[in-house]
Amino acid sequence: MKIKVDQSKCIGCGACVSIASKSFKLKEVGDRYKSQPIEPVGDDIKTIKGAVNCCPVKAISLEDL
What is the three-class DSSP state of 61? Answer: strand
Q: What does pTM read for this prediction?
A: 0.91
What pLDDT, on a 0 to 100 scale, did the predictor assign at position 44?
97
Domain locations in the chain?
A: 2-63
Alpha-carbon distance of 3 to 64, in angstroms, equals: 9
- CATH topology classification for 2-63: Alpha-Beta Plaits (3.30.70)
Please write the tens of the pLDDT for every residue from 4-51: 999 999 999 999 999 999 999 999 988 999 999 999 999 999 999 999
